[in-house]
Amino acid sequence: MTRPLVFVVCPDFQLLDVAGPVAAFEAANQIEPGAYALNLTSRTGGAVKSSSGVAFLTVPFAAAPPADTVLVVGGAGVWEALACPETRAYILDLSRQARRMASVCTGAYLLAAVGLLDGRKATTHWRHSTDFQRRFPAVALDADRIYVNDGPLWTAAGISAGIDLALALIADDLGERIARQAARQLVVYYRRPGGQSQYSALLEMDMGSGRFAGLLDYIRSNLDKPLSIDDLADKACLSQRHFARCFAAEIGATPARAVERLRVEAASVALESGAGSVQQVARQCGFGDVERMRRAFIRLKGIPPSALKRRAAVSPERR
């Protein structure tokens, strides 16, 4: 059975939002010939330029085939498309015909604008989460997830997360074995869980380039120590209350949450590199015990630390 996929694109779309999922479905077709028929459509049809200047050929809305799955693509062109009655009507019409609707990155705005995400869980690129929540308060946005599935609605954070979404859709259609083979062909991990955080805590904490830059360096270098709020406040030469307030305002997280995120990130690197057992990594990164580390991993990454350890043991680089 061939499943027709329709990608809805707008001028100035994000190239990887299309190319990543297309490559994943192409890989599935090579493993299971005829599994998918790939179609790109736009309001006017013809060559549509991405934000990078690279153009894809599309058919106009009226010429697009019926769709089993619709993927609405994000990018700079979404903002103009939100004000286009024809585009909104077409997406709503597709939702009445297709088995499932999906979006990549800011494509979620178009699904939300026609009411498809009301009362449902969804995600979009973390950079747009505040604006999205302001515009669409009826959507249960989870801004720190790679992709979210709620019934027939699938949303992805965008850019590389579109590949994770496509692999999840392939698994839903063809089974885990085919999705795993497609991931291997793409040379990507199979699969980052939808619940995994969109961005690295180590990168996020680099926001502390002001008064707490030195403190963050101290935390990174001393993760095996208790790092209580009293200790950190003393290190910053501030009262505990004033420190907690100023730290949260500048870093965007409480001191305790920041330390936990950095510990999880450091532990992830250690586990994926095969540096010690789960118990050893828990001690080295300051969790104290494995159960405390496991709870932190589930909360922030959506997977237990043992999953990273198993992944490292079977990765091609370690065979």
- How many angstroms separate the CA atoms of 73 and 212, rounded? 38
Query: 235, 224 in Cβ contact below 8 A?
Result: no
Q: How many of the other CB atoms lie within 10 Å of CB of 319?
A: 6
Among 20, 8, 6, residue whose Cα is nearest residue 183: 20
Task: Look at strands 46-49 and 100-104 and give their pairing.
Answer: unpaired
Q: Is residue 84 annotated as a catalytic residue, yes or no?
A: no
Alpha carbon separation from 235 to 216, 224, 229, 253, 313 (Å, rounded): 11, 16, 10, 18, 39
> What domains are there in the chain, each with its CATH number?
3-186 (3.40.50.880), 201-318 (1.10.10.60)
pTM over 0.85: no
Query: 170, 30 in Cβ contact below 8 A?
Result: no
Task: Look up residue 303 and give its two tokens.
Answer: 């997977």
Residues 6+ apart with CB under 8 A from 117: 108, 111, 136, 138, 139, 153, 155
pLDDT of residue 316: 41
Task: Look up residue 168 and give its two tokens.
Answer: 């999840």
Alpha carbon separation from 213 to 49, 209, 210, 218, 285 (Å, rounded): 41, 5, 6, 9, 20
pLDDT of residue 192: 56
Q: Which residue has the tokens 């006017």?
A: 44
Which residue stretches of 199-254 are H helix?
201-204, 213-221, 229-235, 240-251
The residue annotated as part of the active site, out of 105, 237, 246, 285, is: 105
pLDDT of residue 317: 40
pLDDT tens over the chain, length 319 residues: 999 999 999 999 999 999 999 999 999 999 999 999 999 999 999 999 999 999 999 999 999 999 999 999 999 999 999 999 999 999 999 999 999 999 999 999 999 999 999 999 999 988 888 899 999 999 999 877 788 999 999 999 877 889 999 999 999 999 989 998 998 898 876 555 544 555 554 445 554 446 888 888 889 889 999 999 999 999 999 999 999 999 888 887 889 988 998 899 888 878 876 768 899 999 999 999 999 999 999 888 778 888 877 765 654 444 3
Q: What are phi and psi for residue 287, nearest 5 degrees?
A: -75, -25
**Amino acid code (one letter) for 171:** A
pLDDT of residue 130: 86
